């Protein structure tokens, strides 16, 4: 037991924990984004989907897994960042630049990561714990989440803030996706550029997919 604990507390073990928990959330945001695309199409479909989701007993398991992986990801990320800062107490007068500079999103993970943590609380307060409108479809009473979504996304300031946070999601994923594979040891000169390309495509699709519904609502439902 002592040894397995030492793996989880090692530099590589903790990095792999970041990768696995990050990949769990990468899967979650993709399904969340896909569900959000129902918003412009049908209030009924969207409400029925969210009703089916929250009435499924497996939701508790899924939510438990998401909360646990998120806490591990955040706690680990903060601890690693603090350690990394301690590894260079004296900063350089000039940073790496030109052809030797790494992609900026990779060195800013803690910044967009922190933004996302704040966003998540804001997001849960707005929607999950927001106004509980009710509606009846086919004799079944359920939450009218769509009404709340339309109400919120009709506010331009909210949509701007939301869109900026989604750009943060895209940046975080664009490094995190590819990085997770490398951390877990998947690297091959032929396939890794494809994984990186796929990571960029995936992060763009996720960010764009999250931004489209609020923009649509703002343009069609405002006033």
Partner 1 sequence: MASANSKKINLKLKVWRQKTREDAGRFEEISAQEIPVDASFLEMMDIVNNRLIKEGRDPIAFDHDCREGICGSCSMVINGNPHGPERGTATCQLHMRKFHDAQEIVVEPFRATAFPVIKDLSVDRTAFDRIIAAGGYVSVNTGNAPDANALPVPKEKADDAFNSATCIGCGACVAACANSSAMLFVSAKVNHLAVLPQGEPERERRVLRMMQTMEDSGFGNCSNTGACSLACPKEISFENIARMNAEYMKASIKRRD
Binding site for partner 1 (CB under 8 A): 3-4, 7, 10-16, 80, 83-84, 86-103, 106-107, 109, 175, 178-179, 181-189, 192
Closest CA to 209 of 176, 169, 179, 172: 169
**Quick one: 42 or 84, whose CB is closer to partner 1?**
84
Residue 50 to residue 205: CA distance in whole angstroms: 22
**Quick one: 100 or 128, whose CB is closer to partner 1?**
100
**Quick one: 103 or 221, whose CB is closer to partner 1?**
103
**Quick one: 27 or 89, whose CB is closer to partner 1?**
89
State the minimum distance, in angstroms, from the CB of residue 194 to partner 1. Answer: 14
Token digits of residue 34: 């896909």
State the minimum distance, in angstroms, from the CB of residue 106 to partner 1. Answer: 4
Token digits of residue 104: 């900026």
* Cα–Cα–Cα angle for 194, 195, 197, rounded to 5 degrees: 60
Three-state DSSP state, 102: coil
State the minimum distance, in angstroms, from the CB of residue 182 to partner 1. Answer: 4
- Dihedral class, residue 138 (left if φ above 0, else alpha if ψ from -120 to 50, else beta): left
């Amino acid at each position: 037991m002592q040894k397995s604990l030492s793996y989880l507390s090692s530099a590589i073990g903790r990095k792999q924990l970041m990768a696995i928990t990050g990949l769990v959330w990468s899967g979650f945001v993709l399904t969340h984004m896909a569900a959000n695309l129902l918003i412009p199409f049908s209030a009924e479909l969207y409400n029925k989907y969210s009703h089916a989701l929250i009435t499924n007993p497996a939701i508790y398991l899924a939510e438990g897994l998401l909360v646990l992986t998120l806490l591990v990801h955040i706690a680990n990320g903060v601890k690693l960042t603090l350690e990394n800062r301690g590894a260079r107490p004296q900063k350089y007068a000039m940073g790496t630049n030109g052809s030797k500079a790494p992609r900026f999103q990779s060195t800013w993970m803690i910044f967009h990561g922190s933004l996302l943590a704040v966003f998540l609380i804001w997001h849960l307060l707005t929607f999950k714990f927001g106004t509980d409108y009710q509606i009846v479809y086919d004799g079944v009473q359920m939450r009218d989440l769509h009404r709340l979504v339309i109400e919120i996304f009709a506010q331009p300031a909210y949509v701007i803030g939301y869109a900026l946070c989604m750009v943060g999601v895209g940046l975080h994923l664009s490094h995190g996706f590819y990085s997770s594979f490398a951390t877990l040891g998947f690297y091959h000169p032929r396939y890794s550029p494809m994984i990186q390309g796929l990571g960029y495509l995936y992060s763009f699709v996720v960010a764009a997919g999250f931004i489209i519904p609020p923009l649509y609502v703002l343009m069609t439902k405002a006033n």
